[in-house]
């Protein structure tokens, strides 16, 4: 392990923190210094929490994914809003388990967050051994179709992005 690797285990994360600090404050040399110290210390302290290094293989595809996610969030909000306002008494809520084919921890986190942000679903439990996600759905109509939809829309692109 080189000197640099020991002090900067996650260079991207450290850089992100410095940038964040500068964006939140007026730019000055003092803030650059303080931000850098904080960024290095925080990335060292949080290092044990990083499960393993996840590699984003295709950043461009990640951007496309995030863009589509934003659209889906808008759409899902309209759907959920309509259900809350007009059919809150005929809703059939329920749980279902989603079989994961992703293995990368960070990719799974992304998928679970995506599921929580989109149409009427909230991820409730991640079973690491059985490799499934437990998902609660506001209106569970057709379980199979929903699983297929999540797989096609989100899991496959994530698989490509992280080359999992």
Q: According to the binding rule CB under 8 A, does residue 36 interact with another protein? A: no
The stretch near another protein (CB under 8 A) out of 38-46, 48-56, 115-123, 153-161 is 115-123
Q: According to the binding rule CB under 8 A, does residue 23 interact with another protein? A: yes
Q: Burial level of 39, CB count in 10 A (0-12/13-18/19+)?
A: buried
Q: How many whole angstroms separate alpha carbon 34 and alpha carbon 116?
A: 36
Alpha carbon separation from 78 to 49, 59, 110, 141, 148 (Å, rounded): 36, 29, 22, 18, 22
Alpha carbon separation from 37 to 11, 53, 122, 135 (Å, rounded): 13, 22, 37, 40
Please check whether residue 137 is in contact with residue 121, taking contact to mean a CB–CB distance below 8 angstroms: yes
Which of 28, 46, 47, 77 lies at the binding interface for another protein (CB under 8 A)? 77
Q: According to the binding rule CB under 8 A, does residue 94 interact with another protein? A: yes
The three-point CA angle 74-20-5 to 5° equals 115
Nearest distance, CB of residue 5 and another protein, angstroms: 27
Closest C-alpha among 163, 161, 157, 105 to residue 131: 105
Q: According to the binding rule CB under 8 A, does residue 54 interact with another protein? A: no
Which of 17, 100, 104, 120 lies at the binding interface for another protein (CB under 8 A)? 120
The stretch near another protein (CB under 8 A) out of 2-10, 38-46, 70-78, 156-164 is 70-78
| DSSP β-bridge partners for residue 95 | 136
Which of 34, 42, 138, 147 lies at the binding interface for another protein (CB under 8 A)? 138
Our CB check for another protein shows the closer of 103 and 113 to be 113
Q: Which residues bind another protein (CB under 8 A)?
A: 20, 23-24, 73-74, 76-77, 80-81, 84-85, 88, 91-97, 112-117, 120, 122-125, 134, 136, 138, 140
């Amino acid at each position: 392990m080189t000197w640099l690797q020991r002090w900067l285990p996650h260079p991207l994360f450290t850089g992100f923190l410095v940038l964040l600090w500068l964006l939140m404050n007026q730019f000055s040399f003092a803030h650059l210094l303080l931000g850098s110290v904080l960024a290095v210390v925080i990335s060292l302290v949080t290092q044990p929490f990083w499960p393993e290094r996840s590699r984003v293989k295709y950043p461009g595809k990640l951007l496309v994914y995030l863009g589509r996610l934003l659209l889906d969030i808008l759409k899902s909000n309209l759907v959920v809003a309509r259900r809350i306002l007009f059919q809150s008494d005929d809703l059939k809520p329920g749980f279902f388990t989603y079989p994961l084919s992703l293995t990368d921890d960070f990719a799974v986190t992304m998928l679970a967050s995506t599921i929580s942000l989109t149409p009427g679903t909230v991820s409730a439990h991640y079973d690491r051994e059985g490799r499934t996600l437990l998902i609660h759905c506001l209106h569970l109509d057709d379980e199979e179709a929903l699983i297929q939809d999540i797989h096609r829309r989100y899991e496959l692109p994530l698989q490509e992005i992280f080359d999992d």
